[in-house]
Structure 1
Amino acid sequence: MSDPTFLSLPYRTGKPRLSGLTHVLDKGITPAAAASLVAGAGDHIDVWKFGWGTAYIDRSLKEKLRLLADHDIGACLGGTLLEIAWAQGKADECLDWAHRQGFPHVEVSRGVVPMSPTEKRELIRRAAEHFIVLAEAGAKDEAHQLHEDEWAAEVAGDLAAGAKWIVAEARESGTVGLYDSAGDVREDIVDAIVDAGSPDRVFFEAPRKDQQAWFIRRFGANVNLANVALDDALSVETLRLGLRADTIGVGCRGVLA
């Protein structure tokens, strides 16, 4: 059955997208649940992150990776696992393993172990030899948040080191990094990020509906959004298309439109 066409809606990029990507967070769902989700919302999912260390212990990993590849969804190894491997002197082994498993993307971050910006960029360079790299910028610890100039330097440096995209930190809670403790957007930080790297090179972590709507209103339907809950993939697409009160009238203002 074809999609209806009687409404005037914002322009949306199609797969394979260069902008307007939706990045979802898998906390460890079963292959059956993944297949059901992809059957209904796969057209609206571009990057599927295996959160934390779930990929390392998931016995159904190969099955899920095949499913995602069949639906043009980029599987991404979460940054925490690579950080732990790096701290143990096993980063190359982790990257070799991810390559053998068939991951096309890896996330490089420095949110859970002590790692300097220089060390992070060297890890990005090593990962970029075989993967599309998503480099996470920003701090997970709400007590040690970065200033605007620090955000800008990290974004610019990570892109120069070979990252394809920047993932602007917010955690699953949406209360650090891009946001204050109440979950409100820190607009000065967003401005600094955009000045250092154009919106089409940045994924804004936005786990909450009000945060997703804010970025769509600011940048248009084709902004890149990350850390979207799996169950919210379809509802995020309705936000992009102005089919909810939060974004009605957003218009054809996609970042590359």
Structure 2
Amino acid sequence: MPASQLPTFLDLPARSSKPRKTGITHILDKGSTTNDVQAILESAARYIDVWKFGFGTSYVDPTAPAKIALLKAAGIKTCTGGTLLEIAWLRGRTEAFFEFAAERGFDCVEVSDGATDIPFHDKLALIERANALGFEVLSEIGSKDPTKRLTSVEWVSQLETDAQAGARWIVIEGRESGTVGLYDEYGKIRNDILHAVTRSRFVDKLIFEAPQRAQQAFLIREFGPEVNLGNILVDDVISLETLRLGLRADTLQLLADVDREGRRVVHA
């Protein structure tokens, strides 16, 4: 069997192929080198959909353009970190930010208000401006501050408003720690929030930040292998795919509970 061809002797849940509309894997890059990127692409390019240059890393990394070129060649969309745009907004430099993102070759921008107090009308204006400039918008909802807890009604209101403003994806905050936003301080999912956002008419736009293995496994067991997951660390891409396919103890039951089209089967 050629090295690039995967085995087929197991009857596994179906996974959509790229370009995907479901089963998105969204990477958080906290400062990988070009050698790191080349290495992970050799084994995992087929599993990665969006590569986010976390926070302000693209601003200080002189190799960012080379990394973006590698990712584009592999069919992976590149995204700025939301914090960088928030800082640009604070300094009155949002147009300069968009020029920077375009010059670097980013496909997507993340619009967030989790680190600052951007008024909702300013956030919506940023979403609309990014769309007008041709960027695919990932709008993040939820605060990075663990003391700021939105109600389920506020979560749904924000995600629906952002989607109506033109966001392609709505990112549910979890941060790289997995202890804020959708999660409590111990990394456990806040079920009231999860149930509220997944009842929204824009549920197909949701990407759940899930940096911890237990969070990934829970969401896969709950929604099946085609759930959209974000803030996945670079070194965890392959292990996440084994979770999606029931090739790890945490999701082994998927082999019995998911049909060949990747849909979760609910047993009576």
**TM norm structure 2:** 0.93
Partner amino acid, structure 2, of 1:186? R
What is the one-letter code of the residue matched to 1:180?
D
In structure 1, give the amino acid aligned to 2:162: D
8 Å CA contact 2:226, 2:262 repeated in 1: yes
Q: CA deviation at 1:41?
A: 0.9
Matched, 1:157 2:175: no
Q: Is the partner of 2:199 in helix, strand or coil?
A: helix
* 2:24 matches 1:21: yes
Contact 1:155 1:166 in 2 (8 A): yes
**1:210 paired residue number:** 214
Letter in 2 for 1:6: F
**Superposed displacement of residue 191, structure 1:** 1.3
CA distance in structure 1 between the aligned counterparts of 2:121 and 2:33, rounded to whole angstroms: 37
Structure 1 residues 197 and 231 mapped into 2: Cα distance closer, same or farther (>3 Å)?
farther
Identical residues among aligned pairs (%):
47
CA–CA distance in structure 2, aligned partners of residues 86 and 255 of structure 1:
41
1:256/1:136 CA distance change after superposition, 3 Å: farther
Amino acid at match of 2:64: L
Compared CA separation, residues 254 and 120, structure 1 to 2 (3 A) = farther
Q: 1:256 & 1:67 partners in 2: Cα distance?
A: 35
Aligned pairs, how many?
257
How far apart, CA to CA, are the structure 2 residues paired with 1:211 and 1:113?
A: 26
Deviation at 1:248, TM superposition (A): 1.0
Q: What is the CA–CA distance in structure 2 between the aligned matches of 1:121 and 1:184, rounded to whole Å?
A: 30
Q: Which residue in 2 is equivalent to 1:73?
A: 76
1:142/1:177 contact within 8 Å kept: yes
CA distance in 2, matches of 1:254, 1:84: 40
Are 2:163 and 2:202, in contact at CA under 8 Å, matched by a contact in 1?
no
Q: CA deviation at 1:165?
A: 0.3
Partner Cα distance (1:180, 1:100) in 2: 38
| 1:187 alignment counterpart | 191
Matched, 1:168 2:136: no
Counterpart in 1 of 2:122? Answer: 119
Aligned to 1:4: 7
| Counterpart residue identity of residue 83, structure 2 | T
Q: Which residue of 1 aligns with 2:92?
A: 89
Indicate if the aligned counterparts of 1:223 and 1:255 stay in contact, CA closer than 8 A: no
Which runs of 5 or more residues in structure 2 are unaligned? none
Task: Indicate yes or no: 2:59 matched with 1:56.
Answer: yes
Residues 146-195 of structure 1: per-residue CA shift (max 9 Å, x gap): 00000000000000000000000011110111111111111110111112
Q: CA deviation at 1:196?
A: 2.3
Residues in 2 aligned to 1:26 and 1:111: alpha-carbon distance in whole angstroms: 18
Find the partner of 1:107 among 107, 110, 114. 110
In structure 2, the CA distance between the partners of 1:218 and 1:198, relative to structure 1 (3 Å rule), is farther
Cα deviation for residue 112 of structure 1 reads 1.4
Kept in 2, the 8 Å contact 1:175–1:182? The answer is yes
Q: Check 1:169–1:197 CA distance in 2 against 1; reply closer, same or farther (3 A cut).
A: farther
One-letter amino acid of the structure 2 residue matched with residue 108 of structure 1: V
- Equivalent position SS for 1:191: helix
CA deviations over 1:110-153 (Å, ceiling 9, x no partner): 01122111211111000111200000011111111100000000
3-state SS in 1 of match to 2:87: helix
Structure 2 partner of 1:248: 252
Q: 1:84 to 1:255 in 2, by over 3 A?
A: farther
Partners of 1:199 and 1:223 within 8 A in 2: no
What is the rounded CA distance, in whole Å, between the counterparts of 1:174 and 1:254 in structure 2?
A: 26
The separation in 1 between residues aligned to 2:191 and 2:147, in whole angstroms, is 19
Q: CA RMSD in A?
A: 1.4
Residue 196 (structure 1) aligned with residue 200 (structure 2): yes
Conserved? CA contact 1:200–1:256, under 8 Å:
no
